[in-house]
Structure 1
Amino acid sequence: MLACATAFGGALTTPAAAAPKPPPVSDFHGVNWADPRDNYADDAVVPSGLSTSDSYATVYAKSKAIIRGFDKLGANTVRLPVNPTSVNGPFWKSYKGAIDAATAQGFKVILGYWEADNAKDGRIDDQASYDTMWSRITSAYGRNSRVYFEPMNEPFGYTSQEWRDVAADWVTSHRSVPRDRIVIGGVKYSEDVKPVCADPRLNGTRLALHNYGFWHTDWTSYDQWKQDFEERIGDCASRTILDEFGATMTSGLDYDGPVNGSSEVAYIQAATDTIRELGMGSVYWPGLRSGDTYSLTTLQGTGTRLSLRLNNESGLNRLHWAWNQDGGTGKR
């Protein structure tokens, strides 16, 4: 606090600057950057384009190029996977280059824990290594206001009560992390945020919702999908980030056009309308994952000279609509 002398010999204090207000969830315009094998990995999870043999400088340079590609899409957020092998092992020193490159370009980064593929039971694989992982992550990025922490992706192995207990324990164990930088997944496949939203122990945290069109391929009605989204969200939209949703982007589907019996078109139109109307955050799955037909982009180039090629213009238009950006198109 600064002080200056007055004409009467006293001191006049100037109040310290207020802490920046946390962004609303509607400011999360994001994409997932995922491992080509999916983020369920027995070994280190490695997003497309990176390698465990890369140095920190190489990861940083590659990530800078890829994040620049996401920025051109209109994104300002990237969701990255972590697991104990990635963080507790030698790759962490290099992997931090991806986080650092993203935050240096003004991106928000959501770090989410994925369990190993050889377990994949929807529960934390090993509590001790999990705790060590989060301790290392929060020690490195707890003071970086652009980094957010998602304790677990899709905790489907827990009952609602069990998962809320696990999440509450995480919040208590990391009480130095501001609650608005903690993203708690909904119950089961992060498919319903209402129980988490209602738990007072988790007040102030963000919520992560997942919803996919392949869960109900027989639904070709826009209204049916719209109702489904709204039922999963309840009155918790102001805290909710839809941090996984996606559909086929490599088959030429026109997401700007009429549904014409396509469950995927109906789903994407309902999802993006819901995001916009309710002021939610959203992180598309995936912005980049090599070999994934849902991937919004394809990685091009070699070495650190990388770029992204858009796979579906209408899919991006729908994201721009959800994000309230110029060029987006609403329901047709």
Structure 2
Amino acid sequence: MPTTPARSSRVRAARIPAGLAAAALTLLCATTASAAPAPTGQVGKDTSQFKGVNWADPRDNFADDELRLSGLSTTDSYSRTYAKSTRIIAAFRANLGANTVRLPINPYTVNGSYWKSYRAVIDAASDQGFKVIVSYWEGTGAQKDGFIDDASAYWPMWNTVVNAYKHDSHVYFEPMNEPHGYTETEWADIAAKWLDTYATVPRNRVFVSGAGYNDHVTSVCADPRLAGTYLSLHHYGFWKSYATYDEWKSDLKERIGDCAGRTVADEFGAPMTTGLNYDVPAPNADATSDNNFINYVQAVTDTFRELKMGSVYWPGLRTDDTYSIQELTGPVNHPWLATTNRSGADRLAWGWGRGSAVGS
């Protein structure tokens, strides 16, 4: 997420069915999910199969040491990390209907002793049948500049991660989050190098970030060296002080171009703990809310549904983040989650192709 501080929709997303909660709780006691069929190396006609959330470190995933996802501890063993992660992943499914989680990695986490425990997060998600997107995050301070911090640590990190998960078809690889230090051409060159380096990884298990702050995918989409990969887009309401519903739809579609069939919005978000109602219907067809974030959320989720695009909300869980759509509940070693904004969850479901129009 870049660090900075719609007309109301004519449709209203349905509540998550109660049966989803029961199904997810059952998964807590289920055996390991069977592996998905081997990928073909080609992306499909749309990306609607990705219905997810980000699980983040309270520090926004920018760290100069091991990543500590909200609710976890770097002192936990593999088994304890796995147990906690299993419950949190199950809660994402129960509360939101998610099937995808995006997780950060960095060299401190992967190249050191904590990797043995951190792998439990990926394993717990994969074992429940979740799609898992692992993405590299840079460090803090002067290193928070949109460049790979240290190539001598970056490539060994990816060697370890790819070797561990190249045969797990639930796991997807995103070479870098928000590569805004590079020009479009420089970033495409790095992404192409990643694909050449890990040529045995099917391309339909790679997410190439859009250039800049992942804020447009048109340049990476046009590069033939990156063909067959998914493209990741970020889009946020705080990028404008105010825009109407129609203006937000136009802004998003311009960043996607004609590449919706390959694109997943693997970060988008808005305030969820401040009481905004994202379900409020427009009083008439030409109405627009006077709240920028309501316009934004309704516009982008309508667009994701219209274009059959996958989306991964930021964040599903991040301690002390007003955008977080889930919050930790229960004992530290036996966590569960609660939804912070029911209308926000409705809009996620609507963007994921669920729900029905008002009055239908």
Q: TM-score scaled by structure 1?
A: 0.91
In the alignment, structure 1 residue 40 sits paired with structure 2 residue 62: yes
Which of 197, 214, 227 aligns to 1:173? It is 197
In the alignment, structure 1 residue 297 sits paired with structure 2 residue 326: yes
1: CA distance, partners of 2:119 / 2:297: 33
Equivalent residue letter for 1:207: L
Per the TM alignment, residue 19 of structure 1 is displaced from its structure 2 partner at its CA by 4.5
1: CA distance, partners of 2:63 / 2:264: 24
Q: Counterparts in 2 of 1:1-332, with a 5 A limit? A: 19=38, 24-72=46-94, 73-118=96-141, 119-219=143-243, 221-257=244-280, 258=282, 259-326=288-355
Secondary structure of the residue aligned to 1:31 is: strand
In the TM superposition, structure 1's runs of 4+ consecutive aligned residues that sit over 6 Å from their partners are none
Does structure 1 retain, via aligned residues, the 8 Å contact 2:134–2:171?
yes
Q: TM-score scaled by structure 2?
A: 0.84
Q: Deviations over 1:261-319 (max 9, x none)?
A: 10000000111011000011100000000100000011112232111010001000001
Flag structure 1 segments of 5+ consecutive residues without an equivalent. 1-17
Higher relative contact order (CA 8 A, sep 6+): 2
Per the TM alignment, residue 325 of structure 1 is displaced from its structure 2 partner at its CA by 1.9
Q: Deviations over 1:246-273 (max 9, x none)?
A: 0000011010114531000000011101
Equivalent residue letter for 2:81: V
Taking only the aligned residue pairs, the percentage that are identical comes to: 56
Secondary structure of the residue aligned to 2:255 is: helix
Secondary structure of the residue aligned to 1:308 is: strand
Does structure 2 retain, via aligned residues, the 8 Å contact 1:163–1:187?
yes
Does structure 2 retain, via aligned residues, the 8 Å contact 1:256–1:329?
no
1: CA distance, partners of 2:275 / 2:154: 41
Flag structure 2 segments of 5+ consecutive residues without an equivalent. 1-36, 283-287
Does structure 2 retain, via aligned residues, the 8 Å contact 1:65–1:304?
no
Question: How large is the Cα RMSD of the aligned pairs?
Answer: 1.5
Equivalent residue letter for 1:76: N
Per the TM alignment, residue 45 of structure 1 is displaced from its structure 2 partner at its CA by 1.2
Does structure 1 retain, via aligned residues, the 8 Å contact 2:58–2:320?
yes
Does structure 2 retain, via aligned residues, the 8 Å contact 1:191–1:232?
yes
Does structure 2 retain, via aligned residues, the 8 Å contact 1:34–1:80?
yes
Q: Deviations over 1:116-149 (max 9, x none)?
A: 0131010000001000000000000011000000
Aligned length: 312
